[in-house]
Amino acid sequence: MSMHDELRLPPQALDAEESVLGSMLIGGADAAVKVMDILEPEDFYKELNGVLFKNMVSMVSEGKPIDIVTFVERLKSDGLVDNDNVFYVTGLMEAVPSAANINYYAEIVKNRARRRTIIDASWRATQQAYDNSAPLVEIEAELMDALINTADSQYVDAETAALESMKDIDDTVTHGVTKGIKTEFSGLDEIIGDIRPEEVVVVASRPGVGKTSFALNMAVRVAGKGHHVAIVSMEMSRKQLVNRMVFNHASIDSWYYRRGLLRKDQLPVITASMTWFSKLPISIDTRRGQTTEQIYARAKRLQLQGKLDLLIVDYLGLIRHSERGDLYQKVTATSAQMITYAGMLGVPVILLHQINRAPESRKDTRPTMGDLRDSGAIEQDAHHIWLLNRPIIDKNGKPHDKEYAELIVAKNRDGRTGLVEMEFIQEYTRFQTPSGFPV
């Protein structure tokens, strides 16, 4: 920011501020309630105007009438009155002929306040950017949060809400278009329909069951339908992730690659699968120890480039959090932030989570929602909870096929729950429906 910029007055509209206050004095509580959900005291550029507005709002909240007499008395009792202030308050009523246009005046005041917020956030970001010790991604996250928080957030009436919902319903019935994303696992989609923007899906399992493999399988299926998928992995390297997806598609056991036993005749198949993978709209981030703020900032950057429809995070326990306290408190704070950021991004988020081995000590080893209760408040926070399981024996004590797996839809906030039977092909780390169709 140049010296010239520093000397410029911030955006303001003192006439509109005075017109809001004058309208409140003329129209009383009826006028005040029209703008109480639009403005806050901090939105007024002139500090005195913000103080006056705050006091009028307090009077409305207390059920007291507002007019020039009662308001001046209120100011006197709070020690906020001197001769200049009384003269100024009296003059506010002369600023407007009536309270009819109070909403219009309030929108002008809010507009200028938002502009000041953007200027302030940009100025702070500029200063931090010059400080090379400040983490870049945190500067970006703070700036984006400030810009997003300037957006409107008001109630809408039932008619408006109904029209919005009816459009979605009509699009679904008439054109087969939904706002959500299919997982492309037929049995799962039959139960849940799809996953919707802003929803957080927790996919949980014991260690070694295959939650990462399931998430990667889902990622390539979804990306294959043209949706942009971002994968954040704090457990595996980029090459490991790519190799899993490529060898899965090629139907080649990666064990041979890791042991240096691949045959030359397999190379064309792997090359073809690598070409296939390279054309998928998938973005991968494998930086370790990321915070929720960093995950959000990097995802937001992708979204601004038009490259984010679904976010997959592997996994919850590896997200770094500054919250003090025990693991329960940290996981609770982290999951709550991920819920918030899913809403801010407006995309579904798949959040992988590792539960303990307690189910293995039970007669019925199938995981339940209760196994999440020592993992913060994610049981309450998540929109969906899917529990992945690969049982060795069935409920009758008979051994399962080694490929048998099941996905338990334990929570579905807007629909049915149930169990999806699947096959897990170990050598390809592939989950598929029992009929079997490679991705």
Q: What pLDDT was estimated at residue 403?
A: 81
Q: Is 360 a catalytic residue?
A: no
**Nearest CA among 118, 140, 120, 119 for reference residue 129:** 140
CATH number assigned to the domain covering 175-432: 3.40.50.300
Question: Is the pLDDT reported for residue 195 higher than 50?
Answer: yes
The Cα–Cα gap between 233 and 217 comes to: 14
CA 314, 316, 322 angle in degrees (round to 5)? 125
In this predicted model, what pLDDT tens digit does every residue of 323-373 receive, in sequence order? 566 667 777 788 888 888 888 888 999 999 988 766 666 767 788 888 876
Least confident of 147-156, 189-198, 223-232, 287-296: 147-156
**Nearest CA among 25, 414, 418, 32 for reference residue 190:** 418
In this predicted model, what pLDDT tens digit does every residue of 30-39 receive, in sequence order? 888 888 878 8
Location of structure tokens 């802003």: 198
Backbone phi, then psi, for 374, in 5-degree steps?
A: -100, 15
Q: What pLDDT was estimated at residue 4?
A: 46
Question: Is the pLDDT reported for residue 219 higher than 60?
Answer: yes
Q: What is the largest CA-CA distance in the chain?
A: 94
pLDDT, averaged across the chain? 83
Q: Catalytic residue among 107, 138, 142, 235, which?
A: 235
In this predicted model, what pLDDT tens digit does every residue of 398-422 receive, in sequence order? 556 668 889 999 999 888 999 998 8
Q: What pLDDT was estimated at residue 399?
A: 53
Contacts 24+ apart (CB under 8 A), 374-378: 374/328, 375/316, 375/328, 375/331, 376/327, 376/328, 376/329, 376/330, 376/331, 376/332, 376/333, 376/334, 376/335, 377/331, 377/332, 377/335, 377/336, 378/202, 378/316, 378/331, 378/332, 378/335, 378/351, 378/353
Q: What pLDDT was estimated at residue 359?
A: 62
The fold of the 3-147 domain, in CATH, is DNAb Helicase; Chain A (1.10.860)
Q: What pLDDT was estimated at residue 2?
A: 47
Where do the structural domains in the chain lie, given as residue ranges? Answer: 3-147, 175-432
Q: What pLDDT was estimated at residue 439?
A: 39
Please indicate, yes or no, whether the overall pTM of this predicted structure exceeds 0.75.
no
In this predicted model, what pLDDT tens digit does every residue of 115-154 receive, in sequence order? 998 888 888 888 888 877 777 777 777 777 666 665 555 5
Percent of the chain with pLDDT over 70: 84
pLDDT bin (cut points 50, 70, 90) of residue 14 is: very high
The Cα–Cα gap between 248 and 241 comes to: 11
91: CB partners within 8 A, 6+ apart: none
The Cα–Cα gap between 80 and 89 comes to: 11
Q: What pLDDT was estimated at residue 232?
A: 94
Q: What pLDDT was estimated at residue 1?
A: 47
Return the sign of the alpha-carbon dihedral for residues 71, 73, 76, 82. positive
Contact 426, 410 (CB under 8 A): no
Question: How many other C-beta atoms can be found within 10 angstroms of the C-beta atom of residue 232?
Answer: 24
